Amino acid sequence: MFRSYVLVCGGTGCTSSNSPKVIEALENEIKAVGLQDEVKVVKTGCFGLCALGPIMIVYPEGVFYSRVKPEWIKEIVDEHLLKGRIVKKYLYQETIDGDNIKNLMHTRFYEKQTRIALHNCGVIAAEDIDEYIARGGYTALEKVLFHMQPQEVIEVVKASGLRGRGGAGFSTGMKWQFTASAEGDVKYVCCNADEGDPGAFMDRSVLEGDPHCVIEAMTIAAYAIGGSQGYVYVRAEYPIAVQRLRIALAQAREYGLLGDNIMGTGFKFDIEIRLGAGAFVCGEETALMTSIEGNRGEPRPRPPFPANKGLFAKPTLLNNVETYANITQIINNGAEWFASMGTEKSKGTKVFALGGKVVNTGLVEIPMGTPLRTVIEEIGGGCPNGKKFKAAQTGGPSGGCIPASLIDTPLDYESMAAIGSIVGSGGLIVMDEDNCMVDIAKFFLDFTVDESCGKCAPCRIGTKRIYEMLEKITSGNGTLEDIDKLEELCYQVKSASLCALGQTAPNPVLSTLNYFRDEYIAHVVDKKCPAGVCKSLLQYVIDPEKCKGCTACARQCPVGAISGTVKQPHVIDSSKCIKCGACMATCKFGAISKK
Amino acid sequence: MSAKVVSSVPFNGTKEQKEALDAVIARYKGQQGCVMPAMQEAQDIYGYLPEEVQQMLAEGLNVPLEHIYGVSTFYAQFNLNPKGRYRVGVCLGTACYVKNSANVLEKIKEILGIDNGGCTPDGKFSLDATRCLGCCGLAPVMMINDDVYGRLTPENVAEVFEKYKDL
Amino acid sequence: MKTPADLAAIRVAKKHLVASRHDNMNAVRVTVGMGTCGIAAGARAVSNAFVEEIFKAGLDEKAIVVLSGCMGDCSLEPMVTVEVPGAEKVTYVKMDAAKAARVVAEHIVNNKVVTDYTK
């Protein structure tokens, strides 16, 4: 038994900030001072506060060292682990409260969170099945196999009110019911881990931090619907998640928790991994299934729905990683427990990946219905550098923006739909006054044009035309008529596309047109970009009052567009200027600005 | 899908690579859903999927070459052209984009002297703008093979490449 | 292959590993004074003894052992404080492994302060 546990995050984020070196330094130093029988180092998954990684938490005290450098480890081991003197200067400063050190859960980032899907992430060793079991893992599967009938399991999931967390928000219990009722000699259970929305990393964190939670849930689902084989379709861009999943599957098989005779009951189920190959559209259910079958990832019309005819033409259940991550606790704690959280139609919690112009970037899990303001101002710590919050984008390329005027909107399925947005998979990108909403719409369309599978004309051709119109507008060549045409085209693409990629691709445009039409108008009428982003509409100007005539900018300019004599105010020739911004970056007197 | 530029570098497969590919084919032949995993492993062996390798896969798995080719041009991860020993991927996902990753990409193009999708003549580095890598808490982000680098700026990104100078 | 009984056994055997990884605000807090003087006086053996006795008594979720720097009265080292939520903090002096066992059994399990060892 150990006196103390030092948890270090081994998720992708912290790994890229060198947490493996931190772990190595810890293990070496602990051995050097002879503490290896008293202190255990544990590599966990993502604990959420990515902005402060590498993260290190020492239990049982619960102190939180942030942005840990390997060079600090000797001091931390000697002072804190050996002599009991916490090294305050390396702590997350918000936890220091006079002489006391607050527990991490009482900081602004964590105190409004309710971690259900993420309950093991950042707590257990990500590659140790025994720690998962010690924290109650596989009790839900045991309960289901020994004490519940398949239909009972489905009733519990229905009663919980859990809705698909991949973005569509369809009733999970109903989906399980449809698949259970379908006719078929073989049924498949799939997990959609092709988290393609830019800005979303909820599923990655669950797979890296708590892979067994997903495996156990898929096995429960298989029992409930009569499935015998499972597939997890993971993006290949997630190597750590793939590796953790492989290890977890091997451990589960070794313990007989997957295979021909699960827990000795004779129930058979096993899971294989299938890697994606870089196609966003394969997050769509029919595209995902055809990709597993070895084809180009092109969606198909529904009906037939996958519940009746899915993978290899058999009844197939497909759920998102985060949806599965809630199942074991729903089984153990009951449907009423889950339904007691959230709102009337959006039960439970949702994991959001908070990114962009916000202080505390990272992963948060909050009850459905939490207002956006709470997420941005309290949990997120607001916009950095004193900038004004402008809009939050949810749902990635399928979503809409929530303008600052609607910051009190509750984050749940109904409220978001009412304002023209979606909850989506959980990506929540915060934008400030320096972001141009027309540019953002164009950014999303650039993505969608590239990712469109090409099968149906409305999406293949329509998204491209939408993108070209946005290009026209942001380069200063647009007209008011273009804005009307753009809007009309958006509605056509929405209504005529074959799958959700095309049907939702126009959402960022429609949403920004709705709330930021004045920005579009400024681009076409005034030929100006109010946020100062669209290069073609910018003018770099030297303020003659501030310019000292030091000539630094003129020397930096790659096209010789700046002229002036030494110690005299300089001037930029806008006809030569390529708007690279090098002059502004060089000027030490703040004399250059862009309009 | 991005345009596939066809390389003029001739295919030069070794005997060991052929043996490894034969083993992959033997393992997957006849299994349902085998095409994608077989192609992914073939790419791991050769580094890319030129027509010669696609032909071997088609014959070995008893699947039309047209099918293999269709799949290889659909998915961004399948390379029909050789990639560098170090594949640099710069994330242009939303969170990175709003924090200026496009400028980081421009700087890297300057440092490596190649364009997006290109490969340095010595075969050391190739460069691709990528989709979201899922490390949004550390935006802007780039990956070099499996290593992730975050909190990049046009000013500090050169330091990362210093590490690879003598490799 | 693990049966439910096997899994239950793992849960019991490994419980102590994960028991303390949360907000321990409501646990009994045993603080062992370290610092250079504490270590010199044998405080490490005392902290290890507390950890072992708490484990043996199955109290991993109810009591935690933390260290602190020098507690001040160097002549009375090794010093240990025990804080039961809701009760006053008790300070024990000149502790050793055997005394630790008694404090766990009487104070932490039965809520009876061991006055023999207090200041």
Residue A100 burial by Cβ neighbours in a 10 Å radius (0-12, 13-18, 19+): exposed
Where among B74, B95, B119 does a domain terminate?
B74
Last residue of a domain, one of B31, B51, B74: B74
DSSP string, A413-479: HHHHHHTT---TTSEEEEEETTS-HHHHHHHHHHHHHHH--S-SHHHHHHHHHHHHHHHHHHTT---
**Structural domain contains residue B20:** yes
Co-location of A164 and A299 in the same domain: yes
Residue A224 pLDDT level (bands cut at 50, 70, 90): very high
Same domain, A365 and A259: no
Is A195 domain-assigned? yes
Interchain CB contact of A279 with B (< 8 Å): yes
pLDDT at B4: 60
Residues A172 and A303 placed together within one structural domain of the fold: yes
Instruction: Please spell the DSSP secondary structure of A122-169, one letter per residue.
Output: TTSBTT-HHHHHHTTTTHHHHHHHHH--HHHHHHHHHHHT-B-TTTT-
- Same domain? For B64 and B128 the reply is no
Contact between C36 and A83 using a beta-carbon 8 Å cutoff: yes
Write the pLDDT tens digit of every residue in A553-582. Answer: 988 887 888 999 999 999 999 888 877 788
Q: Confidence band (pLDDT; 50, 70, 90) for A12?
A: confident
B36, B91: one domain: no
| B63 and B91 both lie in a single domain | no
- Total domains present in chain B: 2
Residue B3 within a domain? no
Residues B92 and B152 placed together within one structural domain of the fold: yes
Instruction: Report the CATH number at residue B92.
Output: 3.40.30.10
Residue B152 domain flag: yes
Q: What pLDDT, on a 0 to 100 scale, did the predictor assign at position B9?
A: 63
* CB spacing of C64 vs A255 below 8 angstroms: no
Q: How much of chain B exceeds pLDDT 70, in percent? A: 94
Same domain, A96 and A177: no
Domains of chain C: 4-117 (3.40.30.10)
Q: Report the b/e string of A241-275 with b at 16+ CB within 10 A.
A: bbbbbeebbebbbebbbbeeebbeeebebbbebbb
CB contact under 8 Å between A198 and B95, yes or no, is yes
Which of B29, B31, B36 is the best mutation test for A, with the most CBs of A within 10 A? B36
Q: Do A291 and B36 touch (CB under 8 A)?
A: yes
Q: What is the CATH number of the domain that holds A93?
A: 3.40.30.10
- The tens digit of pLDDT for each residue in A103-113 reads 888 899 999 99
Question: Contact A83/C69, CB-based, under 8 Å?
Answer: yes
Q: Provide the pLDDT for residue A577.
A: 84
> Could you identify the residue written with the tokens 């890297």?
B108
- The C-alpha of A50 sits at a distance from chain B's nearest C-alpha, in angstroms, of 5
Same domain flag for A445 and A464: yes
Claim to verify: residue B146 and residue B94 sit in the same structural domain: yes
Chains C and A touch (3+ CB pairs under 8 A): yes
Query: Is there a domain that residue A293 lies in?
Result: yes
Q: What residues in B contact A16, CB-CB < 8 Å? A: 135, 138, 141, 147-150
Residue numbers of the domain that contains A546: 539-594
Which CATH number do you get for residue A518?
Answer: 1.20.1440.230
Would you say residue B63 lies in a domain? yes
Per the structure, the count of domains in chain A is: 5
Q: What are the helix (H) ranges across chain C?
A: 4-18, 35-40, 43-56, 97-103, 110
Say yes or no: A160 and A96 in one domain: no
- Tens digit of pLDDT for each residue in C50-106? 999 999 998 888 999 999 888 877 888 899 999 999 889 999 999 999 999 999 999
Q: How far apart are CA A176 and CA A153, in angstroms?
A: 9
pLDDT digits (tens, 9 = 90+) for B130-140: 877 777 778 88
Domain-located, residue A561: yes
**Is there a single domain that holds both residue B70 and residue B126?**
no
Residues A319 and A380 in one domain: no
Has residue B43 been placed in a domain?
A: yes
Average pLDDT over residues C104-115: 91
Taking the C-alpha atoms of residue A278 and residue A403, their distance in angstroms, rounded to an integer, is 32
Question: Residue B47: which domain range?
Answer: 15-74
Last residue of one domain, picked from the residues A432, A456, A488 = A432
Last residue of a domain, one of B74, B106, B122: B74
On whether both A319 and A385 belong to a single domain, the answer is no
Pair (B66, B90) in one structural domain:
no
Q: Verify that B99 and B158 share a domain, yes or no.
A: yes
Interface test with C, best of A40, A47, A82, A83 (most C CBs within 10 A): A83
Q: Return the pLDDT at B7.
A: 58
pLDDT tier, A279 (very low <50, low <70, confident <90, very high otherwise): very high
Interface contact A136, partner C, CB < 8 A: yes
| Average pLDDT value for residue range C27-44 | 89
Could you tell me if residue A531 is inside a domain? no
Residues of C near A (CB-CB distance < 8 A)? 1-4, 7, 10-11, 14-18, 20-25, 27, 32-36, 38-39, 44, 47-48, 51-52, 55, 60, 64-69
- Position A45 scores a pLDDT of 92
Same domain, B153 and B106: yes
Mean pLDDT (whole number) for A244-264: 97
**pLDDT digits over B70-107, tens only?**
999 999 889 888 888 899 999 988 778 878 888 899 99
pLDDT at B2 over 60: no
Token pair belonging to A359:
């202080």
CATH number where A243 lies: 3.40.50.11540
Contacts of A57 (CB under 8 A, 6+ apart): A6, A7, A47, A63, A64, A65, A104, A122
CA distance to partner chain B, nearest, from residue A35 (Å): 31
SS in 3 state form for B81-137? Answer: CCCCCEEEEEECCHHHHHCCHHHHHHHHHHHHCCCCCCECCCCCEEEEEECCCCCHH
Q: Do both A388 and A326 map to the same domain?
A: no
Sequence-separated (6 or more) residues with CB below 8 Å from residue A459: A452, A453, A493, A497, A498, A499, A501, A502, A505
Please judge whether A142 and C22 are an interchain contact, meaning their C-beta atoms are less than 8 angstroms apart. Answer: no
Which residues of chain A have a CB within 8 Å of the CB of C27?
Answer: 60
Question: Is residue B144 located within the same domain as residue B99?
Answer: yes
Q: Do B135 and A201 touch (CB under 8 A)?
A: yes
